[in-house]
Amino acid sequence: MLYRENGQFKTSYRADLQIFPILQDRWTILALLAFAFLVVPSFASDYYFRAILIPFLIMALAALGVNILVGYCGQISLGSGAFMAVGAYGAYNFFVRIPDMPLVPALILGGLCATAFGIVFGLPSLRVKGLYLAVATLAAQFFADWMFLRIKWLVNDSPSGSVSVNGLQVFGLPIESGVSKYWFCLTVLCIVALLAKNLVRSAIGREWMAIRDMDVAAAVIGIRPVYAKLTAFAVSSFIVGMAGALWAFVYLGAWEPAAFNVDVSFRLLFMVIIGGLGSITGAFFGAAFIVVLPIFLNQFLPFAASLVGLSVSTEAASHAELMIFGALIVWFLIVEPHGLAKLWSTGKQKLRLWPFPH
């Protein structure tokens, strides 16, 4: 009833090409942004910021980057953890080696390091595709793991590769408390999401999607696969690298190479698949799901066991978590292979016609 678009006429191309062509959507997004920026900080406790909200925002950013590569360009990547690591350590090197380096340029430079790394490891995509490429990108993962453990110069000569940063500030404002970190991550996420959304609607985005749907056919109609694939790798690894730098600087503070191991790559891929391939909204849904699920299970499993009079050791709980995680992934893939974003759009479609079924 509320979600009707009749009477909203587009009278210019501008209006027709808006990101949210429906008035209600625009208002919802504005309300959501206002809620996220103004209301959430006023009631969320420090625990929520540190355990849920900040990881969610940063992981959503990373998932956005992975989604550009996997969802829009169809190049399966299992090396996202490596791109995050390169972003993090790249930003770290700029941050500690250049005196008075501000945070934001350091993050961007870290993202650019990841871009270079991503392009190099994206080169095989010109020759191989599909599952071969998935394994080829694992090379990036293992190479990065090794690089930050063994090449001492990159980690400022720390013996185990663990480094830390402190005294973060943006435009003179300190980024120390949960709220300020939250605001900072949210701002970065909003800007990048807006840019990404526009990028995938533009010519280059359509080239990516053409490559994804059928690269030979795309090449036949005049799309350069080399250019399209490498730009997808570049843009994706830039965003993932920024997310890695944020994860290290803002969320962890002190980290070691293991913080970006192959498990991170798998989780990012889960986020993209569960959220929805080829959808910006999907990255948010997926990140929310993967970040919140373990926390929820950690709280819920001991509670559920206590209801039936059992006590669960932490070890058993972590194993049960693995099992439930795995089962849920399989279940999701079977029930909704297009991800949560598809459910969302189905819901919207139903809402349009409500109360009529067709």
Point out which residues bind other proteins (CB under 8 A): 70, 76, 123-124, 127-128, 130-132, 134-136, 138-139, 142-143, 145-146, 149-151, 214-217, 220, 262, 266, 269-270, 273, 277, 315-316, 319-330, 333-334, 337
Nearer of residues 178 and 257 to other proteins, judged by Cβ: 257
Could you tell me the smallest distance in angstroms from the CB atom of residue 285 to other proteins?
16
Are the beta carbons of 305 and 243 closer than 8 angstroms?
Answer: no
Could you tell me the smallest distance in angstroms from the CB atom of residue 151 to other proteins?
7
Could you tell me the smallest distance in angstroms from the CB atom of residue 73 to other proteins?
12
Nearer of residues 174 and 326 to other proteins, judged by Cβ: 326
Could you tell me the smallest distance in angstroms from the CB atom of residue 236 to other proteins?
15
Nearer of residues 106 and 273 to other proteins, judged by Cβ: 273
Nearer of residues 36 and 305 to other proteins, judged by Cβ: 305
Could you tell me the smallest distance in angstroms from the CB atom of residue 254 to other proteins?
23
Could you tell me the smallest distance in angstroms from the CB atom of residue 217 to other proteins?
5
Nearer of residues 39 and 120 to other proteins, judged by Cβ: 120
Q: How far is CA 194 from CA 40, 165, 172, 340, in A?
A: 21, 29, 25, 20
Could you tell me the smallest distance in angstroms from the CB atom of residue 123 to other proteins?
8
Nearer of residues 10 and 319 to other proteins, judged by Cβ: 319
Nearer of residues 60 and 140 to other proteins, judged by Cβ: 140
